[in-house]
Chain A
Amino acid sequence: MTYLRELWRYREVLWNLIRRNLKVRYKNSVLGFFWSLLNPLMQIGVWWFVFKIILQNPEPNYMAYLITGFLPWLFFSQTVLDSTACVTQEMALVKKAYFPRALLPLSALMSNLIHLGLAFVVLLGLFAAWRVDVNVYWLLVIPSTALIAVFAYGLSTMLAAWSVFYADVKFIIGNLMGLWFFLTPVLYPVFMVLRRVEMAGENWLVRMLEHALPAIKMAYLADPVAIGILGYRSALLHGGENPIMVPGEPAMEAALRAQYPIGCYVVAAVLIAVVVAVAGQLVFNRLADLFAERG
């Protein structure tokens, strides 16, 4: 409680840090703010070209599919990457002045939330062009974003604190994000992971994975980022429907929905996010006193 009051007392600092983050990201660029809109669009354009034109993805509006998955992913990954560096980059400030150190990861989170909001403007424009209906299920975007934000904040605080002591954290997390991207359903529908598959070839890795596969799939679906992305899709494209979908195969769809009750996974994802957030904050606060002397 006293901690929250302390944060509130320093809100002006938070505001200044956010403005600083927003400004510094696109320093020296002519297009400035437009990059937070152009960047995701260009990235999506590349994937669209590869997966729709070359690989003939059957999804009817694959562009809409990509953008609804990529915006929440970008918000998550950018927040975590920015926060990992946030304390080490601000050492000059940390060594000179007292302020609640949690303002640093918090400002990274908030600035990325603002970028997400801006990117959403583009999404709305595209949706208007595609004549996608606006309906009440769109509100699902808010809890989905909140879920990702809480989870990202927890990871951020933890990584920000550790990277003061070990520079390795930054490199590890950079690579991990590359892997994590493919472990979330941005590019492909979630049933492709959940359905039963015969693994090609017989080697030790396949055999080992086969035993762990049910657990891996459960973990895959309980990932707060995956649930957040599914929430976005369900809200914006499918009118709030269960996001586990198998186009053209209702039997498999029903089986998967029974096997993976989405409600339970949402609860699990929320729990994971909250636990990570609390743990992250605890780690951060415990190490924060040492930032100035070890940085």
Chain B
Amino acid sequence: MNVIEVVDLWKQYRRPHQRVTTLKEAVLAFLRGQTGYEEFWALKGLSFSVGPGETIGVIGPNGSGKSTLLGLLAGVLKPTLGRVQVNGRICPLLGLGTGFHPDLTGRENVYLNASLLGLGRREIRACYDDIVEFAELEDVMEAPLKTYSTGMMVRLGFSVAVHLDPDLLLIDEVLSVGDEHFQHKSFDKLMSLKEQGKTFFVVSHDLNALLKLCDRALWLDSGNMVADTGCEEVITAYRRVVAEGEQRAREARLRQGSG
């Protein structure tokens, strides 16, 4: 059975012209006859499926729909059209500032996060020590999270995510956080998960890391799938296009300068 099945997936956002957040503004906008929204499609008809053990990198320029895709896979966003089906346990979306609560201790946050994955207390207890050890936070687990540095929080989030044994791991731009030491460590951990046959989805701008981690890559541009094949192929093509774009921009600047 495929881990992910995405069929003709469309996602529309409404982007307010003017941000309407109060009743007064809403009433005024209504009286003026403004709908106040501009609709745009963040994803335009994506279809793909992912088998068990595939490791997938998602690349594309800013605003191409990468994070939206992860949100849909995590079940946080709902598709406007089409279908997303994920079989198995999904880890909460791992990004900066994961669903942690600043007033709770590190330990309590681990339990809260793990319960979101559907784990019972006993299962959490079983892997708790590994989580703490990997994050190297043994001394501060009883301190409230607000006393942690950003790096410590990311380490904890990463450690929770990789130790709870999810069927699908969604990672949004956290490969290059933490110090050098932890970056290597988390990278090695992902490599070993890959060898164990875990499925993961990584959004990153660190193309070199993706080359090592992923077998397959999706290239998104303004909500369209530009390419979906082997990681190396896609990244080579992506680099070429980016380089061409830069080249054109340089030439345009030169022409302007001389003209």
Contact = CB atoms under 8 A, between A and B. Distances in A.
A249 B258 CA distance: 102
A254 B13 CA distance: 62
A183 B98 CA distance: 43
Given A94-B76, A98-B74, A293-B13, A12 B119 contact: yes
Kindly name the residue among A94, A97, A99, A167 whose own CB sees the greatest number of chain B CB atoms within 10 A: A97
Contacts of A272: none
A13 B21 CA distance: 30
B104 A13 contact: no
Interface string B70-106: 0100111110000000000010110101111101100
Interface in A75-123: 92-99
Contact of B115 (A16, A27, A292): A16
B116 A20 contact: no
A94 B101 CA distance: 12
A8 to B, nearest CB: 12
B116 A13 contact: yes
Interface string B1-37: 0000000000001000000011110100000000000
Nearest to A165: B21
Contact of A97 (B24, B78, B99): B99
A133 interface: no
B78 A289 contact: yes
A235 B97 CA distance: 49
A17 B109 CA distance: 10
B85 to A, nearest CB: 13
Interface string A14-57: 01110110011001000000000000000000000000000000
B217 to A, nearest CB: 24
Interface residues of B, number: 33
A93 B99 contact: yes
Contacts of A94: 76
Given A23-B103, A24-B103, A12 B120 contact: yes
Contacts, number: 77
B108 A19 contact: yes
B125 interface: no
Contacts of B41: none
Contact of A20 (B26, B92, B112, B118): B112
A238 interface: no
A13 B115 CA distance: 5
Contacts of B239: none
Kindly name the residue among B26, B75, B101, B121 whose own CB sees the greatest number of chain A CB atoms within 10 A: B101
B234 to A, nearest CB: 27
B26 A166 contact: yes
Contacts of B26: 166
A32 to B, nearest CB: 13
A92 B24 CA distance: 27
Contacts of B74: 96-98
B77 A16 contact: no
Contacts of B21: 166-167
A92 B99 contact: yes
A168 B21 CA distance: 8
Given A96-B74, A166-B26, A292-B77, A24 B104 contact: yes
23 contacts: A12-B121, A16-B108, A16-B112, A19-B108, A20-B101, A20-B104, A20-B108, A92-B98, A92-B100, A93-B99, A93-B116, A94-B76, A95-B71, A96-B76, A96-B95, A96-B98, A96-B99, A97-B74, A97-B92, A167-B22, A168-B22, A289-B78, A293-B13
Interface of A: 9-10, 12-13, 15-17, 19-20, 23-24, 27, 92-99, 166-168, 289-290, 292-293
Interface of B: 13, 21-24, 26, 71, 74-78, 90, 92-93, 95, 97-101, 103-104, 108, 111-113, 115-116, 118-121
Given A96-B76, A97-B116, A293-B77, 19 more contacts: A10-B115, A13-B112, A16-B108, A17-B112, A20-B104, A20-B112, A23-B103, A93-B99, A93-B116, A94-B76, A96-B74, A97-B74, A97-B76, A97-B92, A97-B99, A98-B90, A166-B23, A166-B26, A167-B21
